[in-house]
A and B are shown apart, each in its own frame.
Chain A
């Protein structure tokens, strides 16, 4: 098959680039092997959360500090104006699928994790952050954290204990409660077997939502905030949120659970639907195993399902992610990028790949390893030549640390947007 652009990797970065390309009229395909990291994400979009272990409040101002110290940082290659544009693009595309992302203007806001810690982030879904949450926050007295009896991937007492240590909640009463959903429990199955996805499906049934609302109202009398694990449906989440809030007259707030993350799943669904709606070709469950190139130009890629059948394109975007999703492979004492065998930035000595303490404040060095690119995000091959028609985006890029800097999704979106921009302008020149 022949395309204008083939994107390898169907996560947040690949989908953003795909939507951008297909919107500009490029015949675009995304090849994805297995579901992406969005299924494990918080569902909020982080732009820049920390510098030197300090929380960042003004992410766009702090960008200069960051790129000033790390010249090779992907953000430095994008530039502030493009980052802002990319984020607005992403927000608008999500909105077409009824996923509304709220920001705190130019400031970061915080979302609560399942452990009760606060994480700085830039965009959140309306069940996590919106104007009401912002206004209510100033005068809150009582927070009730609710879990569903038998669901074992969330511990409200733990979250409450951690949260109450925080200075923001010094004058606030935080209570953990469990609510029973007897009418929903199938007798053939033990409630401990429920996963987030099972409960989210229970919420999708409107009749159940009314019953749950009544149970929440009883448990959370007088609360300023009601915190529940992110269960408010996979498709009808806006409607469910509205019903719950109007029936309980309480402000209901979702926190992401252990995987699978319903908040992340909503973004994944939105981006995939948008890409398909615009006419993009999404090839799921297949893996690019090799590429064919001549004179530093990639001609075709081959997949595991069709080892004999080339997929050809004028341009390629590599957004296969980091080690976890197979974008890079680490062996006993070396690392490589499996599709194009690109030049990687990494420390050859294995004992320098990681920090001895798991929760070390400077994070692990391997998170900064990845593909080396020029300022246009084009990678180098093993002979140090630039590959002319390949661009890289997202977690496969080197020289940034998504954990330490709290910038994973921001980098994924910005670099995808930048890569797509390059391709679009070249494509228009060629015509």
Chain B
């Protein structure tokens, strides 16, 4: 296996060998007996559903079976893996047989949190407050924003699947414990994050004398989210595809930005979660399509992609005010604050003698061009009086 940096581990895709043995090592290092069974599933959604089924109450089990999630929704992914000599042949095609398996208590604290806290205490004792802060800033602190985005997007998508079940099955009760959205979201909080634990694991790399993390590091290099229980470990695979923009945010126009072997997938536009069809619509945008988009977040992404100045030109906008600082434009947007922009001209001409015009969006309460330009420098209209501009 090629050696991956922790940056690469966070966003690694594809199958990797040795995840099960790495999980067993993590149990041993935590002073626990190895799990009797290890279940390998294709996605964090599959992992969350099975974990919810195994640890949830009767209502959760009955609902997941009624929804066919164990049988059909995940069957495609599970089927292939379960007949793969893991000893679970047919187990998950029937919830009752899965029920004969008692996973035992979650051992997440013992396997993950304890070793991490001991490692951090050891590093802290050695480096001191400032040293630890600096180490974190140079390692995990840099990686965390990207990992955190992926983790929270996945959590939300998994909870959304549960909430969709609630709607479909009419289980949207007042009791949180009986809602799938809640159940699945809570189960994601019990997961060890595998590759997405790379940020905090990276902080301990190269620190001699900090041990007990070998298994966790090996799992992170090989697997996605995983759930450790006393008698059973659920391991999920890494995504098969992850597409990022140049700022490292999930982004793709012609398909899901993040997808797993069982079909679980997330669509994203420069980091913003979007519906599956969103990317395709971005290639054929018109001012009418933008104006008719009811979701303001999506509309803002559309406006940005289309170009605010082009939108002004093609939507037939009229200037509302102009003075020696520039021109103020304004467009009303349904169910959203108006789009207000100042058009300003660069004072220094380009080499060919023309002056470059550019647009800046300003707050919707702005009514005059000078007021808008002054705002872009944090000043009031009266205070903005440049003696010289170039």
Please say whether chains A and B are actual partners in one complex: no
